Structure formats: structure tokens, C-alpha cells
Amino acid sequence: MSSARADIVQRLGAAGVVAVLRAESADELADIANALLDGGVSAIEVTTTTPNAVSGIAQLRELFGDRALLGVGTVLDPKTAHDAIAAGARFVVSPTCDAQVIKATHAANCASIPGAFTPSEILSAHRGGADVVKVFPSTALGPGYFKDILAPLPFLKLMPTGGVDATNAGAWIKAGAVCVGAGSALVPRDAVRAGDWRRITNLAEQFTAAVRTARSESK
């Protein structure tokens, strides 16, 4: 792993929480990001299902600079990875594992986080160059799944996405997650539509507190 990629992975681990933004409009991103940053969540993934996601990433980069560690999600092809990285993304997340996406991401010295589900898929993603493996969907798995996988494969870096909320984020961290990915549990759609940024900040504070407590108790 290059030093640049290692630094990104270290920052993701330090952040503990990756906010997964599936916005209805890129115009919402700045307010959401500001609310998340106020609550201590600095790692922000803008999915390509957001209209004009790449330009939205560029806007966030201009507004927040290094305060936010920006990523792009739901990446299915190398061109999208390339365009998002050019706009300011530093990590690339996919729902599945695509060798060409990993290659394009690494060529730009950015971190690749492909998705996998089974132990064989997870190990294959790691061997294929994944800097962190997104275990997806983790909704039906539970933190015990990570304990079972990491017992024989302790070198893996795993991030659960799907079904993670403030009540179980700490359990995932205790089970060995490098960080957790959270979408609607952290950025509820109704809060965004209502412009209730304080609610999002409060949720961000709850998530970060849960991660911080879990890490303290695991020492």
C-alpha cells in the first residue's frame, strides 16, 4: 500500500464513521456535510445515485477542504472512479468487487473499498487490492460475523454497511471493524427534506460517541 493510500485508510479509521449520502440533489450536499462535520463525522461518501454527484464532490472539496475526507460510492466502472477522484474524492466505494475499478483507484493513489459478502469474496477482494473491504449488505449479519471472519483472517480491514445505526455501531467496532458506513440512520431523508440539520448533527454526535466508547472499552 502506498503511503498516500495508507494515510487515507488511517484517516478513515480515525474518523470511525463514514456517512453514506444518497441525496435527491447535489444542492443538498453542502448543508448535510456541514451538519455532519459539526457532529464530528468527517468521512463523507457521496454515492453516484445522487444527481450530479461528481460536481457535488467538487463543491464539497472547495467548501470544506481537508476538514472533510471525501469519497464516492456506488462506483461500477473506472471512468466514474477517475472523474470523482479528479473532483476531490480520496476513497472509492463499490457494492461489488471490480478489478478495473481497484486498478483505476490505485493509479490515482486513492483508497479502494470494494464490496463483498462471503468469507471467500472478502478474502478475494483483499487479495485483489482492496484497502478496506465493505461488507455489504451487513443488515442481516450482525457484528458476530466480523468476529468469526477475523479470528482466522485477522489481517483484513472491514467496514460494515447496511443496518448500521447509533445503537449498534459500537458493537461493530468492538467486533473488529475499521470503521462503519451509515446511510439513512445517520442522514434521515425526512430530516434533509425538512432542513433539520440539528437532527443530523445530533445523530453524528451519537455515532461518534458510540465509536469512541467502543474503542475505549476495547483497550
Q: Which of 24, 28, 45, 121 is catalytic?
A: 45
Q: Are strands 17-21 and 69-73 parallel, antiparallel or unpaired?
A: unpaired
Q: Is 174 a catalytic residue?
A: no
- Has 28 been annotated as catalytic? no
Instruction: Tell me if 169 sits within 8 A of 213, measured CB to CB.
Output: no
| Residue of 52, 67, 108 lying closest to 85 (CA atoms) | 108
93: number of CA atoms within 13 Å, CB side? 30
Question: Of residues 134, 147, 174, 217, which has the active-site annotation?
Answer: 134
Peptide bond into 137 cis (omega under 30): yes
Q: Identify the residue whose cell numbers are 473488529.
A: 176
User: Is the separation of the CB atoms in 202 and 191 below 8 Å?
Assistant: no
CA distance linking residue 76 with residue 120, whole number of Å: 21
Which residues are identified as catalytic? Answer: 45, 134
